[in-house]
Amino acid sequence: AQKITQTQPGMFVQEKEAVTLDCTYDTSDPSYGLFWYKQPSSGEMIFLIYQGSYDQQNATEGRYSLNFQKARKSANLVISASQLGDSAMYFCAMREVDSNYQLIWGAGTKLIIKP
Amino acid sequence: DTGVSQDPRHKITKRGQNVTFRCDPISEHNRLYWYRQTLGQGPEFLTYFQNEAQLEKSRLLSDRFSAERPKGSFSTLEIQRTEQGDSAMYLCASSLPLGLAGETQYFGPGTRLLVL
C-alpha cells in the first residue's frame, strides 16, 4: 500500500493566486514527520516546510503553509500569492521514527504557474 | 556555499562500465543518505550512513552497487557493470543526528546518470 499519496499529477495556476497541493499519508507510528520539498528542473531537492505529528499548530514558512489534518491523515501544502518561480515538481515525504530515518516519498505534483 | 555537493553533475557511460559518484555533505552533518530517482517518480531510498558506518541498505541496492564513507565525511557510490536500468538521478542528502522525526535532510544537486 502507498504510504504517501499525491493525487494531482499536474496543476496549472494563474500567477498571484493561491494553490493547494494535496498529500495524504498512511502510518501506524504515533511519531512521524511530514516534509514538503520543491524540485525545479535543475534537479536539486529543496526543503520547504516540516510538520511534526505532535505539533499543535500548522507549520508556516513565508509563503508556504501546511494544512495538517491529523485525523484525516492529510498534509496539504498551501502556497500563497504564487510566482512564476514556483513552477516545479513538489514532493510530499514522511519519516517515521521507527524507519531508521529514511524518507518515504510521494510521486509528486508538477506545478506550472501561468503569467 | 556550504550546502551538499555532488560530483559529477552528469555522467554518460556505456553499458557494462563502472561509475563512481561522490557526495560531500554539509560539514557538521554526520548522517548521509543516498537516493535514486527515475523520471516522473519520487526518490527511492538506497542507503544511509551515520559517520562511517553504513547502517541500512535498501533491497534496491543490488550487489553491483556499493557505497562507502571511509572517514565519516564524503561518501562515494559505485555502480559496477552498469545496466540501462541504472539510468536515473542519484541524490545525496545529509542531516544532523537530532534523533527526531523532524530531522531535516538537505539535498545536493544530484548526479544524472545515462547508461547507453
Q: How far apart are the first and last CA of chain B?
A: 34
Using an 8 Å CB-CB cutoff, list chain A residues near B23: none
State residue A92's pLDDT score: 97
Instruction: Please tell me whether residue A86 adopts helix, strand or coil conformation.
Output: helix
Q: What is the Cα–Cα distance from A57 to A67, expressed in whole angstroms? A: 9
State residue A15's pLDDT score: 96
State residue A97's pLDDT score: 75
Q: What is the Cα–Cα distance from B45 to B48, expressed in whole angstroms? A: 8
Interface probe, candidates B103, B112, B114, chain A, greatest A C-beta count within 10 A: B103
pLDDT exceeds 70 at position A100: no
pLDDT digits 0-9 by tens, B43-56: 999 999 999 999 88
What is the pairing mode between strands B10-13 and B111-115? parallel
pLDDT digits 0-9 by tens, B69-84: 998 899 999 999 999 9
pLDDT class for B99, splitting at 50, 70, 90? low
Beta bridge partners of B45: B35
DSSP element (H, E) containing A34: strand A32-39
pLDDT exceeds 90 at position B64: yes
CB contact under 8 A, B104 and A44: no
Lookup: cell for A61: 514558512
